[in-house]
Amino acid sequence: MDFRNFEMPFAISEKYKKKVAYFSMEFAIDQSLKIYSGGLGFLAGSHMRSAYSLRQDFVGIGILWKYGYYDQARNADQTLVPVWTEKFYSFLVDTGIKFQIEIHGAPVWVKAMYLDPETFNTAPMFFLTTDLEENDEMSKTISHRLYDANQATKVAQYILLGKGGAKLLDEMNFERDIYHLNEAHALPAAFYLLDKFGGNLEKVKEKLVFTTHTPEEAGNEKHSLQLCEEMSYFSGLPAEKAKEIEGYPAPDQFNHSLCALKMARISNGVSQLHGIVSNEMWGKYEGISEITSITNAQDYKYWADKQLYDAKDDSDGALFEFRKKRLKKQLFQIVADQCGKLFDPDVLTIVWARRFAGYKRADLLLRDRERFEKLLNNPEHPVQIIWAGKPYPLDYAAIDTFNYLVRESHNYKNMAVLTGYELELSRELKQGSDVWLNNPRVPREASGTSGMTAAMNGSINLSTDDGWIPEFARHGENAFVVPKADYENMSIEKQDQYDLEKIYEIIENEVLPTYYDKPAKWRKIQFAAMDEVKECFSSDRMADEYYTKLYNF
């Protein structure tokens, strides 16, 4: 293949002929390709698979992280220790393309690797690396660790993804109509285009669309304006000119998301609620693009257990139950291997598994010790609970929460904390759980797609009413939902206490009695969730909406 004159390797559907390049810091494509950390990557991976199945004129651009995010290992006492291991991928193709971009006022060599669509059934994908012998040691480290803690390295990573990705397209003579930024990390692509188009911002806007995933202004990344200029973030545009475009009131800070909203012709939040929150959050700034909403989704073909769906479609309750217990046993082998505990497939199993972050409240159930003890020691309605997830390796509060749960698990034979929360373990947890617990503080969760793939495997969501849940959940019919309170006028402590009490009430009064005493009703809830999540929250729908709502807008 001549990558200098790259062409799409399959026939394009007439419906999806708009030419799109999709920039993302992470992609969860396959367990063997460890270049992702959490939900953003899971979402991007599903998008790539659906773009392939729909035959869209669509390519993904990311970074080939030499050490990935990190490998989640254990200390001697089973608490968490991050490990960075060099990764090797024999299935990636060297394009033979090397080029230079300016980072920190100096030329840095970049090489592009290619993932063929047939390898994992994705859109064509290109991954950039600076880990080349032509570069000095500092430049090599740019593509070493996903979300590097060093601020200058992090800005350099954004430049590599955005400026490097945009220049790669030019090196390949591969014209794109749309540059889609999945979060603001790749914003330097916009400044590369601005320089390419002679400073014509309107021409940049014609090509740029932006997806925001962060529902709090404080959570959107900002860096020193001086640092960004010194790192060559703006492709030669003077910092004061970049600041005029961005318009953030702090004169010494550069707000990446706000600038993306100013340079894009249209943007979107990732659920209906997040779209509303985003408009309220950014609407006070003049000159931002329209913010619509496209609710995140996951690839049904990748995540769903076919045998479960076949049994459901045949209304074969016995076969469905047999298959579900088989999936539980597979998960419990992992629990036994990691934790030395034997879980029972006849016992209701609750799973909390996702990225560890403070607002997601991994330890919420344990904040009422008396009720937690009662829950785990209920002889009539027994329960098993599993936690899993990766804290950011320098988020010491999140790591403390993880380690606290590990230490507490030593006191209960029916509580386990697993490490290695990546694609395969995620799938095992969703297939092997009965209840998928999701309890973020409302409205902090922009979408929260893990519950979608859980529902695809007969695991019933128990959730606060945030992210995608308001569009899906009907309490007691396809999920269990904590009723919203007047959160805006509650302190964090009161909100946590309210949600905690409601979750326990739902578990004790609805979940447990239904599972053990009304199995037909439980099955009805499972089947309703499986039908409705497949229909409305499969990523083929999402990938189609991006064309109709963003690319063809």
Task: Give the separation between CA 101 and CA 284, rounded to whole angstroms.
Answer: 35
14-61 per-position pLDDT tens digit: 999 999 999 999 999 999 999 999 999 999 999 999 999 999 999 999
| Predicted pLDDT at 505 | 98
| Predicted pLDDT at 424 | 98
- Number of Cβ atoms within 10 Å of the Cβ of 50: 28
Task: Give the separation between CA 152 and CA 241, rounded to whole angstroms.
Answer: 21
355-369 per-position pLDDT tens digit: 999 999 999 999 999
Show the tokens assigned to 287: 């000159």
Mean pLDDT of 173-180: 98
| Predicted pLDDT at 215 | 85
- Provide the percentage of residues in the chain whose pLDDT is more than 70: 100
| Predicted pLDDT at 362 | 98
413-462 per-position pLDDT tens digit: 999 999 999 999 999 999 999 999 999 999 999 999 999 999 999 999 99
Task: Give the separation between CA 197 and CA 188, rounded to whole angstroms.
Answer: 14
- Provide the percentage of residues in the chain whose pLDDT is more than 90: 97
| Predicted pLDDT at 298 | 98
Angle, alpha carbons 490-492-493 (nearest 5°): 95
Domains 20-298+541-551 and 300-537 share a fold: yes
| Predicted pLDDT at 553 | 83
Mean pLDDT of 491-503: 97
Show the tokens assigned to 62: 């990311």
Given this structure, which CATH class describes domain 20-298+541-551?
A: alpha beta
Instruction: Give the three-state DSSP class for 71.
Output: strand
The model's pTM is: 0.97
Q: Per CATH, is 300-537 categorized as 3.30.470.30? A: no
| Predicted pLDDT at 529 | 98
Question: Please, where are the H alpha helices in 272-363?
Answer: 272-282, 300-303, 306-313, 317-339
Show the tokens assigned to 504: 């326990």
241-269 per-position pLDDT tens digit: 999 999 999 999 999 999 999 999 999 99
Mean pLDDT of 527-539: 97
| Predicted pLDDT at 275 | 96
What is the residue-averaged pLDDT of the chain? 97
Q: What 8-state DSSP symbol labels residue 54?
A: T
Task: Give the separation between CA 310 and CA 70, rounded to whole angstroms.
Answer: 37
186-232 per-position pLDDT tens digit: 999 999 999 999 999 999 999 999 999 988 877 789 999 999 999 99
Domain layout of the chain by residue ranges = 20-298+541-551, 300-537
